[in-house]
């Protein structure tokens, strides 16, 4: 299996972790600039860092131990892909879940790790109603066994919602506790399953560049610089969403996470006339049946013609121009499609439910980009 997963031999000694309350642009306690960089100004750890307290042999041994634990968790994961968005509601979880479904329906072994601790959507989108009763179990080695899709044993999901007794309860945690859980998710999930490891682990992150992102990226990179194969950025085409995606692009560049592609979601609505509702001019009466009947009689071919509307008019050149500006690949539009929403609600693979739709073709194309850029050994 061609793998980007970390090896235990080639990585340099891991850096000591930034403390949880460090400034966002922390240079790392083991850096020569620790305590002296401009990013250290105002950090509560500045004094301790410049004294070398975080760089003690004990701290280094702890970092080494953590790195080894991560390396062993990821040794059977070929590629780890982060799915990021600047804002909530732009379709990040939809893209993450449907990429996982599409890759799984092509035969790859796929895991979806949901680190959106406060708004976990992945379990419903991957497992449908099964997510309500699904429970994680422990493997012989004490790791968590993720929950597998009932129709696709090569598609697994792990989320905080499996650990909550009440799926509707809110997670109200401060940074250090969230960081601790993310660390557990990254080191304790046993992805071995029936497939002997994963071809692709897709990580659904919360929107923005929050603690969870910084923790996820930092922990994964502790296992080795190539542990994160890349990130997919999801945005809607208007400036309000793109402004925050630029921050994600900068975050990825600063943290050396390669950007695989930018997905423009919901820019276009594509459907056929029979799926629309027609209203009277005052908006009060539904005249769909009458209009469809008239169309059926006078020009039936129009009923199968695709019709489109622009829901979010792109600002400036839209996500395509943004991707060009940052010199990262633009993957294209994932159209808004009510059937796609339905597939997500029921935890189904949209490419199997509506294989001829434009949105299914877009998803297949995105997956082709993934499998071309991040190949794994031939699957049967
Ligand atoms: P985020 O993870 O960015 O917060 P979600 O993926 O949860 O956003 O999407 C928000 C809602 O929009 C969900 O109900 C989802 O099914 C729907 N949605 C997202 N993308 C599409 C799309 N292309 N077509 C139809 N519905 C979509």
**3-state DSSP of 30-56:** CCCCCCCCHHHCCCCCHHHHHHCHHHC
CA gyration radius, the chain = 23
In this predicted structure, what is the pLDDT of residue 378? Answer: 64
In this predicted structure, what is the pLDDT of residue 170? Answer: 59
Closest-CA residue, ligand 1 atom 19, reads: 91
In this predicted structure, what is the pLDDT of residue 62? Answer: 76
- Residue of 344, 347, 348 best suited for mutating to test ligand 1, as the one with most atoms within 8 Å of CB: 344
d(CA 355, CA 124): 21
In this predicted structure, what is the pLDDT of residue 168? Answer: 61
The pLDDT tens digits of the residues spanning 216-269 come to 888 888 877 788 999 999 999 988 888 888 988 998 888 889 999 999 999 889
Residue 34 belongs to some domain of the structure: no
Q: What value, to the nearest 5°, has the Cα angle with vertex 7 and ends 198 and 71?
A: 65
Residue 213 belongs to some domain of the structure: yes
Is 143 among the annotated ligand-binding positions?
no
In this predicted structure, what is the pLDDT of residue 166? Answer: 64
Q: Which is the closest atom of ligand 1 to the Cα of 97?
A: 6
Which residues have any ligand 1 atom within 6 Å of their CB?
85, 88-94, 121, 265-266, 334, 336-337, 340-341, 344
Is 86 among the annotated ligand-binding positions?
yes
In this predicted structure, what is the pLDDT of residue 2? Answer: 42
Q: Coil, helix or strand for 262?
A: strand
Residue 294 belongs to some domain of the structure: no
Cβ-contact 377, 76 below 8 angstroms: no
Q: Which is the closest atom of ligand 1 to the Cα of 344?
A: 16
Closest-CA residue, ligand 1 atom 24, reads: 336
Query: Which parts of the chain register pLDDT below 70?
Result: 1-21, 24, 119, 165-176, 194-195, 209-211, 378-380
In this predicted structure, what is the pLDDT of residue 4? Answer: 46
- Residue of 90, 92, 94, 337 best suited for mutating to test ligand 1, as the one with most atoms within 8 Å of CB: 94
Backbone angles phi, psi at 243, to 5 degrees: -55, -40
Closest-CA residue, ligand 1 atom 5, reads: 91
The encoded tokens of residue 30 equal 């083991």
Largest CA distance in the chain: 84
Residue 65 belongs to some domain of the structure: no
Is 60 among the annotated ligand-binding positions?
no
Closest-CA residue, ligand 1 atom 15, reads: 341
Structural domain count, the chain:
1
Q: Where residue 104 sits, what CATH number does that domain have? A: 3.40.50.300
Residue 101 belongs to some domain of the structure: yes
Residue 220 belongs to some domain of the structure: yes
DSSP E strands in 237-301: the ranges are: 259-272
Residue 327 belongs to some domain of the structure: yes
Residue 137 belongs to some domain of the structure: yes
134: containing domain: 76-265+318-373
**Residue-wise burial string across 56-70, b where 16 or more C-beta atoms lie within 10 A, e elsewhere:** eeebbeebeebbebb
pTM for the whole structure:
0.84
Burial environment of residue 2 by CB neighbours within 10 A (0 to 12, 13 to 18, 19 or more):
exposed
Question: DSSP characters for 107-142?
Answer: T--EEEEE--TTS--HHHHHHTTHHHH---EE-TTS
Residues paired with residue 271 on neighbouring β-strands, in sequence order: 307
Is 43 among the annotated ligand-binding positions?
yes
In this predicted structure, what is the pLDDT of residue 163? Answer: 76
């Amino acid at each position: 299996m061609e793998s980007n997963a970390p090896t235990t031999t080639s990585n340099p000694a891991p850096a000591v972790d930034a403390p949880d309350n460090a400034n966002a642009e922390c240079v790392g306690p083991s850096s020569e600039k620790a305590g002296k960089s401009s990013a250290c100004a105002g950090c509560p750890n500045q004094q301790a860092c410049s004294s070398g307290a975080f760089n003690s042999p004990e701290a280094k041994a702890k970092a080494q131990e953590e790195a080894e634990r991560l390396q062993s968790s990821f040794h059977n994961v070929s590629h780890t892909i982060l799915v990021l968005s600047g804002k909530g509601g732009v379709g990040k979880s939809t893209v993450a879940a449907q990429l996982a479904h599409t890759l799984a329906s092509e035969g790859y072994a796929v895991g979806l790790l949901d680190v959106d601790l406060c708004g976990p959507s992945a379990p419903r989108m991957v497992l449908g109603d099964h997510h309500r009763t699904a429970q994680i179990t422990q493997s012989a080695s004490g790791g968590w066994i993720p929950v597998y899709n009932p129709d696709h044993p090569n598609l697994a999901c792990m989320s905080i919602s499996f650990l909550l007794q009440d799926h509707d309860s809110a997670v109200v945690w401060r940074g250090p506790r969230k960081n601790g859980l993310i660390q557990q998710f990254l080191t304790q999930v046993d992805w071995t399953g029936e497939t002997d490891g994963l071809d692709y682990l897709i990580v659904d992150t919360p929107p923005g560049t929050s603690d969870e992102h910084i923790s996820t990226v930092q922990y994964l990179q502790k296992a080795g610089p190539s542990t994160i194969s890349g990130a997919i950025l999801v945005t809607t085409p208007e400036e309000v969403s793109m402004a925050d995606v630029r921050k994600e692009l900068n975050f990825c560049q600063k943290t050396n996470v390669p950007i695989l592609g930018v997905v423009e979601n919901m820019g276009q609505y594509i459907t056929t006339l029979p799926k629309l509702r027609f209203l009277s001019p005052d908006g009060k009466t539904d005249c769909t049946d009458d209009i469809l009947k008239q169309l059926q009689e006078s020009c039936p071919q129009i009923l199968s013609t695709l019709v489109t509307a622009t829901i979010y008019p792109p600002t400036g050149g839209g996500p395509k121009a943004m991707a060009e500006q940052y010199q990262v690949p633009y993957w294209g539009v994932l159209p808004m499609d009510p059937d796609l929403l339905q597939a997500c609600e029921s935890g189904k693979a949209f490419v199997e439910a509506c294989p001829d739709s434009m949105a299914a073709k877009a998803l297949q194309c995105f997956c082709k980009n993934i499998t071309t850029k991040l190949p794994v050994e031939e699957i049967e």
